[in-house]
């Protein structure tokens, strides 16, 4: 039986995944609260657009050191806690001073990392911590998607490289157990997770973010090349994108997954 092994939400784009027991999938395909906050570069004029290219702010693709930051968002209290090395900030995002404190903390940390050179580029500083903490808006693509991969596919990649590789590198919303390696790439048509139906859209072409070790913030595995040379993908691919077929709903850890039309 194929089932949901883990669910993840990413409250702040490019930062720590938040493991959840359930996710609410909105009719537009976005996960409620997913990527509802972001650190924007100083020269970004429209931080609240519904499409957010990685070039507009901090993202793992260009700043692997972000992976070391432990960041948690409390929806109820409207607080973000950020911890790394000797930095520990717990700030109210409804207070402009709290947002500024978080931006300053990230800047201070990045000054100590190999990514410090980014801070000297024109238009980068000062960072602005943007978003309302509720609306899912800082995705790379104009269409909202739920991302999914099978744990067996990641295990296959892990076995092919000396560096540790786990689900966190691929930042999917849904991780499945019970699939064969790469099986999900063959799916088409309709997929049901619990009571929620989805249509399979396309495979996920991966970027340099997957090369960053989620514990050390160091690029320790050339996974883009591994995905094409070791596994024969035309482009570096792992996982698939889904859209809700009938208005969305709530998916949960342990839900059974059924491929209705493969």
Q: Kindly tell me the number of DSSP H helices and DSSP E strands found in the chain.
A: 3, 15
Residues 6+ apart with CB under 8 A from 64: 115, 208, 209, 211, 212, 213, 217, 218, 219
State the Cα angle at 158 between 154 and 164, rounded to 5°: 115
Element (H, E) at 225: helix 223-229
Tell me what pLDDT residue 50 has: 62
> Tokens 């693509």, residue?
141
Residue of 172, 122, 127, 124 lying closest to 151 (CA atoms)? 172
Q: φ and ψ at 73, to 5 degrees?
A: -120, 125
Q: φ and ψ at 20, to 5 degrees?
A: -125, 155
Tell me what pLDDT residue 48 has: 56
Residue of 221, 216, 43, 37 lying closest to 113 (CA atoms)? 216
- Residues of the chain with pLDDT below 50 are none
Dihedral in degrees, nearest 10, Cα atoms 224, 233, 192, 11: 10
Q: What is the pTM of this model?
A: 0.95
Tell me what pLDDT residue 49 has: 58
Tell me what pLDDT residue 47 has: 57
Tell me what pLDDT residue 54 has: 83
Tell me what pLDDT residue 108 has: 98
Map residue 125 onto helix, strand or coil.
coil
> Tokens 């792992």, residue?
238
């Amino acid at each position: 039986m194929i089932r949901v092994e883990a669910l993840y939400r990413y409250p702040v784009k490019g930062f720590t995944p938040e493991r959840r027991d359930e996710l609410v999938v909105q009719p537009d395909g976005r996960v409620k609260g997913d990527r509802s906050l972001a650190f924007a570069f100083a020269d970004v004029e429209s931080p609240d657009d519904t499409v957010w290219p990685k070039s507009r702010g901090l993202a793992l693709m260009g700043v692997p050191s972000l992976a070391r930051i432990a960041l948690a968002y409390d929806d109820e209290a409207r607080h973000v806690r950020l911890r790394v090395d000797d930095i520990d900030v717990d700030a109210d995002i409804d207070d402009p001073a709290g947002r500024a404190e978080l931006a300053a903390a990230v800047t201070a940390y990045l000054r100590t990392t190999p990514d410090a050179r980014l801070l000297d580029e024109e238009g980068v500083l000062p960072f602005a911590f943007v978003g309302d903490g509720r609306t899912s808006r800082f995705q790379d693509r104009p269409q909202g998607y739920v991302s999914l991969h099978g744990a067996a596919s990641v295990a296959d990649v892990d076995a092919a490289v000396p560096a540790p590789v786990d689900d966190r590198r691929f930042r999917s919303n849904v991780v499945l157990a019970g699939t064969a390696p790469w099986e999900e790439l063959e799916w088409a048509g309709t997929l049901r997770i619990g009571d929620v139906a989805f249509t399979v859209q396309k495979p996920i072409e991966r970027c340099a973010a997957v090369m960053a070790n989620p514990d050390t913030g160091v690029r320790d595995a050339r996974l883009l090349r591994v995905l094409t040379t070791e596994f024969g993908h035309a482009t570096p691919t792992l996982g698939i994108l889904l859209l809700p077929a009938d208005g969305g709903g709530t998916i949960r850890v342990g839900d059974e997954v059924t491929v209705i039309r493969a």
